[in-house]
Amino acid sequence: MAPMNDQKLAVWIRDTLGALVANPERYGVKDSQVNHLNELATAYLRTLAEPSAEAAPQGKSRNRGRAVMKTATRGVLRSAVRKLLKEIRGNPALTDIHRAEIGLPSRRPSALEVWRAKCDADADRSSLARSSTTEQSLPSPGAQVQARSIAA
């Protein structure tokens, strides 16, 4: 989903929000939802861009209050993004191209994933077949004990 790094999250939210703002109907969301997300994103980006007033005179770019504020706004933003993306994922009219535009994975597995799943299934079947033939060829532990007692 969304990246945890602040700068990567800022780029991701700008790209995703840009696609949502451009055409919210395509994704099945309301303008009010996009506007709310835009407000949260603006608040988060503002906390990244502006140093606090009390840290500026001292030459520091961060302080505890700013870090707490940034973490809180990031948490609220990520929660709102998760909720909206969950709603978008549930839209059956959404194509894979539209999903890719906002950074969602495709519903259909890629050819590589299908191939890997097939290989895993084949490997499981062959190992199961080998283990069942190996178990049939091994003598039972009780048979070995009886053979030792007869030889003694």
**Over its length of 152 residues, how does the chain's per-residue pLDDT go in tens digits?**
566 678 888 888 888 888 888 888 888 889 999 999 999 999 988 888 766 555 455 555 557 888 888 888 888 988 998 899 888 888 888 888 888 888 887 777 667 667 777 788 777 777 666 665 555 555 555 555 555 555 55
- What's the burial of 152, exposed, middle or buried (CB within 10 Å: 0-12/13-18/19+)? exposed
- Whether 86 maps to a domain, the answer reads yes
The answer to the question of residue 77 being in a domain is yes
By residue range, what is the domain housing residue 97? Answer: 6-101
> Which residues lie closer than 8 Å to 55 by C-beta, 6 or more apart?
61, 62, 63, 66
Predicted local distance difference test score (pLDDT) of residue 39: 92
Q: Give the relative orientation of helices 64-89 and 6-22 as an angle to the nearest 10 degrees.
A: 40
> Looking at the structure, do residues 65 and 123 belong to the same domain, yes or no?
no
Q: Is there a single domain that holds both residue 78 and residue 34?
A: yes
pTM score, two decimals? 0.58
The verdict on 47 and 121 lying in the same domain is no
- Total domains present in the chain: 2
How far is residue 1 from each of residues 10, 103, 138, 146, 148, measured CA to CA in Å? 13, 8, 51, 63, 64
